[in-house]
Amino acid sequence: MAVRPITIIGHKALHQPTKKVREVTDDIRTLVADMFDTNEAANGAGLAANQVGARWRIFVYDCEDGAEVRQRGYIINPVLEKGLVRTADLDPDDGSEGCLSIPGEHFPTARADWARVTGTDLDGNEVVVEAEGGTLARCLQHETDHLDGKLYVERLTPTYRAKSREAIKQRGWEAARITKWDPSTQEAEDV
């Protein structure tokens, strides 16, 4: 398959809700395969379709669950359930989160310890992915947020949100009109 360019914060695709997949076509199958290749090339924990410029409600994941077991898969039309999000006593080491669309930055982000996503696979079979703790629980919430047009930096406390804005500004993506990067070459693109 292929490695696709990843959209960077500021690109309109990241700020719009995605569309439900009503029919699995060859293009959808290719998209899922390309998303796995792209996520692997970028060394990501997960990747949402709108991060590669597709408006479909699909994400892939490849990370450890709460038992430190590697989980890899995808889900079409995910619906998220989650536990209580604790914002008090957020540990910057345990709660640090990053994003392939904001490369190189990580900030403490409050997430629920438990999450479950229900959806389907490419053949229309029901898929349920559940995680208690670990990167997978965070990933399920993070990628579903992407599909809803929300970035993790929008969930930060006011202090960390200000720090993220400054860090993003220092990267110079907006000033240089950079909206995508290629994880296989690490090169930026201006569109």
The answer on whether 146 is annotated among ligand-binding residues is yes
Start-to-end Cα distance in the chain = 24
Does residue 157 come out as left (phi exceeding 0), alpha (psi in the -120 to 50 range) or beta? beta
Distance CA 153, CA 107 (A): 8
Q: Give strand pairing partners of 131.
A: 115
Is 143 assigned a catalytic role? yes
Nearest to 61 by CA among 127, 111, 150, 107: 127
Max distance between CA atoms of the chain, in angstroms, equals 47
Q: Which of 40, 143, 166, 187 is catalytic?
A: 143
Binding site per annotation, positions for Fe cation: 99, 142, 146
Binding site per annotation, positions: 99, 142, 146
Question: Which residues are known to be catalytic?
Answer: 143
